Amino acid sequence: MSATPGDTPTIVLVGHGMVGQRFLEALADRGLTTTHRVVVLCEEPRPAYDRVQLTSYFAGRSPDELSLTDMEFIEKHSIELYVGDPAESVDRAAREVTARSGNVFGYDVLVLATGSYPFVPPVPGRDAEGCFVYRTIEDLLAIEEYARTRATSGAVVGGGLLGLEAAGALKGLGLATRVVEFAPRLMPAQVDDGGGAALLRTIEDMGLTVHTGTGTQEIVVGEDGAVTGMKLSDGSAIATDLVVFSAGVRPRDRLARDCGLTVGERGGITVDERCRTVSDPRVFAIGECALAADGRVYGLVAPGYEQAETAAATIAAADDAADFTGADLSTKLKLLGVDVASFGDAHGTTDDCLDVVYSDSRSGLYKKLVVGRDGTLLGGVLVGDAEAYGTLRALTGSVPPVSPEQLVLPAGSGGGDQLGPAALPDDAVICSCHNVTKGTVRAAVTDHRCATVPEVKKCTRAGTGCGSCVKVLGQLVTAELEASGVEVDKGLCGCFAQTREELYEIVLALRVTSYRDLLDRHGRDGARGGDGCETCKPAVASIIASLAPTIGADGHVLDGEQAALQDTNDHFLANLQRNGSYSVVPRIPGGEIAPEKLIVIGEIARDFGLYTKITGGQRIDMFGARVEQLPLIWARLVDAGFESGHAYGKSLRTVKSCVGRTWCRYGVQDSVRMAIDLELRYRGLRSPHKLKSAVSGCARECAEARSKDFGVIATSQGWNLYVGGNGGATPRHADLLAQDLSDAELVRLTDRFLMFYIRTADRLERTSTWLERIPGGLDHVRDVVVHDSLGICEELETLMAAHVAHYRDEWSETINDPEKLARFVSFVNAPDTPDPVVGFVPERDQIKPDLPLLSIGLRPAHDVLEGSAR
């Protein structure tokens, strides 16, 4: 097949990584996909994915979830994407590219985005079985398989960014792990000696062995051709079954060399300020394969994105095309759970500069600012606490409004605590991934009427890259709204000026057990003495329920005032379905169920004609029960030992599990037992939003724990606890809170996390949204929950202990209370009449709802009660 330039000009992009995908988006933004044919040759067997987050694969993130390629985007813009078919040669005279498949594509413009390849030191044994590089998803899949089947120990050659990520991955796979770094410190390109020392202490405390100041002399190979050890340049030797080379990368410029393009002495395709190759104006190079006009090859994604924008603007002959003359090399990372950041002139290479240093070796904290004689902030290094990274990076090149000493002191020490977005100039870059300035963010709020962080993200792209700027972004949005005269009302609703968190504290401190009492004493002036609203009633009901044992309000959810406050589903302890019927969901902890109980569920479903379905949360749902049938069904379930599964409340749903080491050959812990223990501990726990959890018996993550509000993944040393996940409409992977925990440590930290979330979250706020919204994010939550920075952990544990001690099944109490049973009728004015609206038709040997017109004259009881709650 051959394609040559014709009436429609053709752009051929060689390489489809992160920078290549951004180039395609830039083409689309400038309308070039409508005027040009766009061909993409991708070497890997999958389209562009997030290589920055590559290591998250080992924490449960699938290759599909790492993808950056929206196939609807590809199809919408008629982009011809050839996956697994790399370019083999370029004929610049004929302006043709030949792919491995034999296809030949003519081009008017050729863009090389071939990236880089891992450097493997030329040491004996480097090609032995068990030696890997750490660059692609396929590399990770191969490492994972080898680690599970043939290795108990691993070594990483290279202690830089990717090397430490690889070491974390090997440790997560259960291997005893070593790191070998030739330089005298870890991450030599990003941190100085002090930062490297702090990082080393923290990493060694995690159980990794680190060798610095020594190189790899030889890979020792056994008789079977597989790795058995390493010899180091200092004369020592180590035993290892697996070796990962992560000793840096080199530009992939072979294609350019072969077609006669100029490359640098140390590699890289030489380009000018517009990213055109100096040899051929029809050929561009962007990303890690390009040697920029300033003589540097940039190995970070943000400069690559800038180059992609520059190349697209140049091809479009746009008036706003900007030269690429260099880029910000600032980085903020989390390695093995440790925050590491560097920005500006981090190593103090500028003449006549001064260092301001704060170091706490006990806590693994190191902060250094490089300051000019005139007070200008030139750069810095942060290890262990990078909370101030966003603000400090934006202030680089200016004189901060407070002294440098105050900027490095811990939170609460003054000075820097008050340094907010108002101190930043409009030209300060807030999002380095997309080069978005404070002025652009302000304009999004004032000119484009963006009133929330998600709206600003959509408008500017800020915060959609690495995410390190999201906190500052939120501060800017709030500050700009307030500066524009927009009153940011943080009250729960029109009835209460307080936030949900503040109301929680009031209820706890004053032992308020009644919504009416809370409204009359603390409601807004116009709301006192009123009936409240549908926003605050269920929110306050949830607060009182979550604190019930502690404040002395330990009543049933359907008792007195509490019943009138509940959401619709809670009125009948069941979920209302489309046709007015209800679902019945008994709790099945961990998905484990005895045959006798399974038979009971089948018999009930058969006798009442219910639709049955096994859910993704490892439960059996029964649909189609009429309201008057609910007590009859639950009487049989309770008699068989079942209890409410709380499918209707803002509370814990399930703790899903795999079979763990009891049955699975990969399992390293008893995930079923832990899932059952956690579900029974937290059953009935009322919270701002429903909670889901899961326990996986190994890093293969079959229970999908990282898509849950709190998820647990087994390791060979114990359990890793992840928090803030969400598998809903806006999916978010949970973040690692703590690792290698014992059973007792896991339960204690989970207790604290859940009660801290319940205490501080807004109404109907998921843990995922809460974690991103709460000041300080995950780092603050870890400080509070793990390190007890606020001194409230004992109280949080006491509150959870009270919940556990006072738990009572709502349905077992309901079926024995005639007063509560009186509500379970179809019609309040005709209690013996079944609801004629509730009808069914057959489907696949079961039933589905039939939805006829509503009957006249009878009003369903659930409508009456729902109205009373509004």
What are the DSSP calls for 75-143, one per residue?
A: HHTT-EEEET--EEEEETTTTEEEETTS-EEE-SEEEE---EEE-----TTTTSBTEEE-SSHHHHHHH
Domains 568-644+809-870 and 646-797 are alike in CATH topology? no
% of the chain surpassing 70 pLDDT? 90
- Check whether domain 2-117+251-315 has CATH 3.50.50.60, yes or no: yes
State the DSSP H helix or E strand holding residue 238, giving kind and residue range, or none if neither. strand 237-239
Query: Can you tell me whether residue 783 is helix, strand or coil?
Result: helix
Per CATH, is 131-247 categorized as 3.10.450.50?
A: no
pLDDT tens digit string along 6-58? Answer: 578 999 999 999 999 999 999 999 999 999 999 999 999 999 998 888 887 87
Checking DSSP bridges between strand 290-291 and strand 846-850, what pairing results, if any?
unpaired
Counting beta carbons within 10 angstroms of the beta carbon of residue 278, is it exposed (0 to 12), middle (13 to 18) or buried (19 or more)? middle
Task: Say how far apart CA 331 and CA 788 lie, in whole Å.
Answer: 28
698: annotated binding-site residue? Answer: yes
The pLDDT, as a whole number, for residue 187 is 86
Q: Which residue from 155, 164, 152, 145 is spatially nearest to 123, judged by alpha carbons?
A: 155
> What does the alpha-carbon distance between residue 181 and residue 160 come to, in Å, rounded to a whole number?
8
β pairing state of 87-91 and 153-157: unpaired
536 labelled binding-site residue: no
Q: Is the pLDDT of residue 338 over 80?
A: no
Instruction: Give pLDDT tens digits for 520-575.
Output: 989 988 788 887 887 788 888 889 888 888 888 766 777 767 666 666 577 778 87
Q: Are 298 and 304 in contact (CB under 8 A)?
A: yes
What is the Cα–Cα distance from 129 to 131, expressed in whole angstroms? 6
Please give the average per-residue pLDDT across 707-729, as a whole number.
Answer: 90
Res. 75 pLDDT band, cuts 50 70 90: very high
Q: Is residue 119 very low, low, confident or very high in pLDDT (cuts 50, 70, 90)?
A: very high
Instruction: Answer positive or negative: Cα dihedral of 57, 63, 64, 67.
Output: positive
pLDDT band at 416, cuts 50/70/90?
Answer: very low
d(CA 596, CA 704) in angstroms, rounded, equals 28
What's the rounded Cα separation, in Å, for the pair 733 and 742?
23
pLDDT of 215 above 80: yes
Which phi and psi angles does 229 have, rounded to 5°? 180, -175
Give the confidence band of 867 by pLDDT, cuts at 50, 70, 90.
very low
What are the φ and ψ backbone dihedral angles of 12, each rounded to 5 degrees?
A: -110, 125
With 90 as the cut, is the pLDDT of residue 455 above it?
no
Q: What is the pTM of this model?
A: 0.58
Chain position carrying tokens 């005298």: 184
Residue 425: HSE in the Cβ half-sphere, 13 Å Cα cutoff: 10
Question: What does the alpha-carbon distance between residue 425 and residue 367 come to, in Å, rounded to a whole number?
Answer: 23
- Assess contact for 292 and 277: CB atoms under 8 A: no
pLDDT at res. 337: 64
Domain-by-domain residue ranges, the chain?
2-117+251-315, 131-247, 328-419, 500-566, 568-644+809-870, 646-797
What is the pLDDT at residue 857?
37
Residue 764: which H helix or E strand, with range? Answer: none
Beta carbons within 8 Å of 674's beta carbon, 6+ residues apart: 657, 660, 695, 712, 719, 743, 746
Q: Which pLDDT score, from 0 to 100, does residue 5 have?
A: 47
Backbone torsion region of residue 779, taken as left when φ is above 0, otherwise alpha when ψ lies between -120 and 50, otherwise beta: alpha
- Which superfamily, per CATH, for 646-797? Sulfite Reductase Hemoprotein, domain 1 (3.30.413.10)
3-state class (DSSP) for residue 446: helix
pLDDT in tens, 187-211: 887 888 888 888 888 888 778 899 9
The answer to the question of whether 275 is labelled as a binding residue is no
Q: How many CA atoms lie within 13 A of 482 on its CB side?
A: 11
Percent over 90 (pLDDT), the chain: 44
Q: For residue 377, which amino acid is it?
A: L
**pLDDT at position 840:** 81
Task: Say which residue, 166 or 554, is predicted with more confidence.
Answer: 166
Q: What is the pLDDT of residue 532?
A: 81
What pLDDT sits at residue 578? 65
The three-point CA angle 475-476-482 to 5° equals: 90
Run of H or E residues at 39: strand 37-42
* Domain 328-419: which CATH number of 3.30.70.141, 3.40.1440.10, 3.30.390.30, 3.40.47.10: 3.30.390.30
Mean pLDDT of the chain: 86
Q: Which distant-in-sequence residues (6+ apart) come within 8 Å of 412 by Cβ?
A: none
431 annotated as belonging to a binding site for a ligand: no
pLDDT digits (tens, 9 = 90+) for 774-816: 888 898 999 999 999 999 999 999 999 999 998 989 889 889 8
Averaged pLDDT, 176-180: 94
Q: What is the mean pLDDT of residues 735-759?
A: 95
Q: Which CATH number fits domain 568-644+809-870: 1.10.10, 2.60.40, 1.10.3470, 3.30.70?
A: 3.30.70
